[in-house]
């Protein structure tokens, strides 16, 4: 068992390679699809062209949806990061049953199926006039993103020794000053990681957005969702490629950040 | 600190304590208020709609339970979730095993292969499968040119497409906990079993498998619960031929404006998820760290 027979080892490696290929390669099919010259998608394209990229950029509806997505994701990220960071710090100050209850509540948006959250939010948004607005979608996405921020900041907070806070308080620092000079510098990587997660969560989110979007407030995924059902032209593949590109950039950013903090950790006073 | 605290005047101590409570309330308050207003209250308001139907407080659940069509939808949702979970367990096994044995660059490449799909939108991944599984798409053309099939297979707008798409999206949730369990297995145990003359099958059955079980159970629970509530992938890859509970809820709202039925369906879905989660946490040897993470 410690050393599988050669044949089994080859089988395991071949199986793993095939499954990994199944995980990664199909995602990339949209990239060649976006370079089709024809008005329908054929894979691989019989004639290549960038004409659908021009269409994507020229069409005000696609253009607006991209801008809307960035707006919604930015607003949702700000809300989730501010609330989630405060909450993660607050969670460390309570314990026992109360802590379990509050943690459960903060993580609940991850557990409740999104379709249920989306229908509930849509119903209430209709009643208070937030349906079809950028703000309504941002608030919904902030709720979904909140657990990621609480988790990320919570993990970063484990590196902050309570004794540092006591020492600072003993030396007469105000709570705000302690937060600014001791807590914040140590949890910044967690906050940035949570913010990147929050942004991509909102940017990729379809279900809440499909329910909440109005005619002028469609996000990019909503526009893709509608186009798949209406026209199915290569311009959808262009939009999908844009989304993949953004995801790769954010992924690289998150990796760079976690590596940077990895090297910084060795120099931190807690060692 | 505690020694100093006992010497402080009781009044000053009480003031310090209440100030600390106020700080904690200030930290937790905003998130709690926003969650209450934007999550708990909307959910409660939606669920209340299930009970105020003119036909009686539980009439909506009766409609859902008695209609043959809706029962078929629930059954289909369950079958799809079971099949997705079973196939994910099967496919995750070699990847998790190889990951637990790799080191260096190859480990990094394999791990990125598992993590990369997480970052790509579910909608984009589902759209990709629509292109690949089409009637005249590359997979059908490949199968036909290889002589495996004469006419193009129907891979889209049925449960085949739904299974492929959902496995693709949920597989990493199975691989990572399984890998986590495998990498922590002490290899000396396997060596000892080997040295004591146990066969490969025996060592697997009596040592390796039981040690993998916490990761396996955790991953399978996660995948199963996520599949029950899946919406985008079944809606696009299954279409009207493979309706799941989440699609039914959406159609109650969008096509029929039947809010009370949508509320009852949502409440049923959430209740099933919560009950199964509670059961899994009690019965299965899942590591607590998984949900706490």
Whether A156 maps to a domain, the answer reads yes
Q: Do B28 and A221 touch (CB under 8 A)?
A: no
CB-nearest to A24 from B31, B117, B293 is: B117
For residue A168, pLDDT beyond 50: yes
A267 pLDDT tier (thresholds 50, 70, 90): very low
A3 pLDDT tier (thresholds 50, 70, 90): low
Which ipTM was obtained for this model? 0.87
> What's the number of domains chain A is made of?
1
Any idea what DSSP says for residue B236?
Answer: I
CB-nearest to B266 from A1, A119, A250 is: A119
For residue A152, pLDDT beyond 60: yes
Whether A19 maps to a domain, the answer reads no
Q: Residue A270: what pLDDT?
A: 36
CB-nearest to A41 from B49, B123, B131 is: B131
- Cα-flanking dihedrals φ and ψ of residue A36, to 5°? -65, 145
For residue A170, pLDDT beyond 50: yes
Q: Do B124 and A27 touch (CB under 8 A)?
A: yes
Q: What is the mean pLDDT of residues A115-140?
A: 92
Q: Where are the alpha helices (DSSP H) in chain B?
A: 2-7, 10-35, 41-49, 59-66, 68-101, 104-119, 122-133, 138-145, 159-183, 187-195, 200-203, 209-228, 232-233, 245-254, 259-283, 288-292
Query: Whole-angstrom Cα distance, residue B148 to residue A81?
Result: 53
Q: Residue A260: what pLDDT?
A: 65
Percentage of the residues of chain B whose pLDDT score is greater than 70: 94
Q: Residue B14: what pLDDT?
A: 81
CB neighbourhood size of A33 (10 A) = 24
CATH topology of domain B59-292: MetI-like fold (1.10.3720)
* Residues 211-240, chain A, touching B (beta carbon < 8 A): 211, 221, 224-225, 228, 236-237, 240
Q: Residue B163: what pLDDT?
A: 94
Q: Give which of B185, B96, B191, B179 is closest to A2, Cα–Cα.
A: B191
Q: Do B116 and A24 touch (CB under 8 A)?
A: yes
Collect all residues with Cβ–Cβ distance below 8 Å to B166 and sequence separation of at least 6. Answer: B80, B84, B227, B230, B233, B234
Q: What is the mean pLDDT of residues A70-85?
A: 95
- Ranges of CATH 1.10.3720.10 domains, chain B: 59-292
Domain that holds residue A234: 51-262
Q: Which residue(s) pair with A48 in the sheet?
A: A36
DSSP letters of B145-212? HTTS-SS----SSSHHHHHHHHHHHHHHHHHHHHHHHHHTS-HHHHHHHHHTT--HHHHIIIIIHHHH
Q: What is the mean pLDDT of residues A147-172?
A: 88
What is the least distance, in Å, from the CA of B235 to any CA of chain A?
10
A43 pLDDT tier (thresholds 50, 70, 90): confident
Whether A40 maps to a domain, the answer reads no
Whether A238 maps to a domain, the answer reads yes
What is the least distance, in Å, from the CA of B56 to any CA of chain A?
22
For the record, the structure tokens of B250 come out as 């959406």
**Is B16 touching A (CB cutoff 8 A)?**
no
Q: What is the mean pLDDT of residues A69-79?
A: 95
**Is B129 touching A (CB cutoff 8 A)?**
yes
**CATH label of the domain that carries residue A225:** 1.10.3720.10
Q: Give which of B98, B102, B190, B184 is closest to A2, Cα–Cα.
A: B190
When computed from its CA atoms, the radius of gyration of chain B, rounded to whole angstroms, is: 25
Kindly report whether the global pTM for this prediction surpasses the value 0.90.
no
Q: Residue B266: what pLDDT?
A: 94
Query: Whole-angstrom Cα distance, residue A144 to residue A108?
Result: 9
Q: What is the mean pLDDT of residues A19-38?
A: 90
**Is B211 touching A (CB cutoff 8 A)?**
no
Which residues of chain B are within 8 Å of residue A170 when distances are taken between CB atoms? 1
| Alpha-carbon torsion, ordered A187, A192, A193, A195, to 10 deg | 120
Q: What is the 3-state secondary structure (H, E, C) of A2-30?
A: CCCCHHHHHHHHHHHHHHHHHHHHHHHHH
Low-confidence ranges of chain B (pLDDT < 70): 1-8, 285-293
A268 pLDDT tier (thresholds 50, 70, 90): very low
Q: What is the mean pLDDT of residues A25-37?
A: 89
What is the least distance, in Å, from the CA of B68 to any CA of chain A?
23
Q: Do A15 and B95 touch (CB under 8 A)?
A: yes
Whether A2 maps to a domain, the answer reads no
Query: Whole-angstrom Cα distance, residue A151 to residue B293?
Result: 7
For the four alpha carbons of B258, B264, B265 and B267, in that order, the dihedral sign comes to: positive
């Amino acid at each position: 068992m410690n050393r599988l027979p050669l044949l089994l080892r080859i089988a395991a490696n071949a199986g793993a390679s095939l499954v990994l290929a199944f995980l990664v390669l199909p995602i990339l099919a949209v990239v060649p699809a976006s370079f089709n010259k024809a008005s329908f998608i054929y894979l691989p394209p019989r004639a290549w062209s960038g004409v659908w990229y021009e269409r994507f950029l020229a069409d005000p509806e696609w253009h607006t949806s991209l801008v809307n997505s960035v707006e919604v994701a930015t607003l949702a990220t700000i809300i989730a990061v501010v609330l989630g960071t405060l909450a993660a710090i607050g969670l460390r100050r309570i314990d026992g049953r109360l802590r379990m209850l509050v943690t459960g509540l903060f993580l609940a948006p991850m557990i409740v199926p999104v379709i249920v959250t989306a229908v509930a939010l849509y119903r209430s948004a209709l009643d208070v006039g937030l349906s079809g607005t950028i703000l309504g979608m941002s608030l919904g996405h902030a709720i979904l993103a909140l657990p990621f921020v609480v988790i990320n900041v919570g993990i970063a907070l484990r590196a902050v020794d309570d004794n540092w806070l006591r020492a600072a308080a003993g030396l007469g620092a105000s709570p705000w000053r302690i937060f600014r000079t001791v807590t914040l510098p140590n949890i910044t990587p967690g906050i940035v990681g949570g913010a990147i997660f929050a942004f991509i969560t909102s940017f990729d989110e379809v279900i809440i957005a499909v329910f909440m979007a109005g005619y002028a407030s469609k996000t990019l995924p909503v526009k893709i969702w509608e186009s798949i059902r209406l026209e199915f032209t290569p311009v959808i593949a262009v939009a999908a490629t844009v989304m993949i590109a953004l995801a790769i950039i954010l992924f690289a950013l998150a990796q760079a950040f976690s590596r940077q903090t990895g090297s910084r950790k060795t120099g931190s006073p807690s060692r | 600190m505690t020694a100093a605290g006992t010497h402080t005047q009781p009044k000053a101590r009480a003031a310090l304590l209440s100030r600390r409570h106020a700080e904690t309330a200030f930290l937790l308050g905003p998130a709690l208020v926003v969650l209450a207003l934007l999550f708990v209250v909307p959910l409660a308001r939606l669920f209340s709609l299930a009970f105020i139907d003119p036909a009686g407080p539980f009439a909506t659940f009766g409609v859902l339970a008695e209609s043959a069509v809706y029962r078929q939808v629930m059954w289909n949702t369950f079958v799809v979730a079971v099949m997705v979970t079973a196939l994910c367990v099967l496919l995750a096994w070699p990847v998790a095993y190889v990951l637990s044995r790799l080191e260096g660059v190859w480990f990094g490449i394999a791990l990125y292969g598992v993590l990369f799909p997480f970052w790509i939108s579910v909608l984009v991944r589902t759209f990709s499968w629509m292109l690949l599984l089409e009637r005249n798409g590359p997979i059908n053309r490949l199968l036909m040119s290889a002589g495996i099939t004469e006419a193009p297979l129907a891979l889209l707008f049925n449960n085949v497409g739904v299974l492929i798409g959902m496995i693709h999206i949920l597989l990493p949730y199975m691989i990572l906990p399984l890998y986590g369990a495998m990498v922590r297995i002490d290899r000396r145990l396997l060596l000892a079993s080997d040295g004591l003359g146990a066969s490969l099958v025996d060592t697997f059955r009596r040592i390796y498998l039981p040690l993998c079980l916490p990761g396996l159970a955790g991953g399978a629970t996660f995948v199963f619960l996520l599949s029950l509530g899946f919406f985008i992938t079944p809606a696009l890859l299954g279409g009207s031929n493979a309706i799941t509970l989440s699609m039914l809820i959406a159609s109650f709202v969008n096509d029929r404006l039947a809010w009370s039925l949508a509320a009852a369906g949502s409440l049923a879905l959430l209740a099933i998820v919560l009950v199964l989660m509670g059961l899994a946490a009690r019965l299965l040897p899942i590591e607590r760290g998984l949900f706490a993470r």
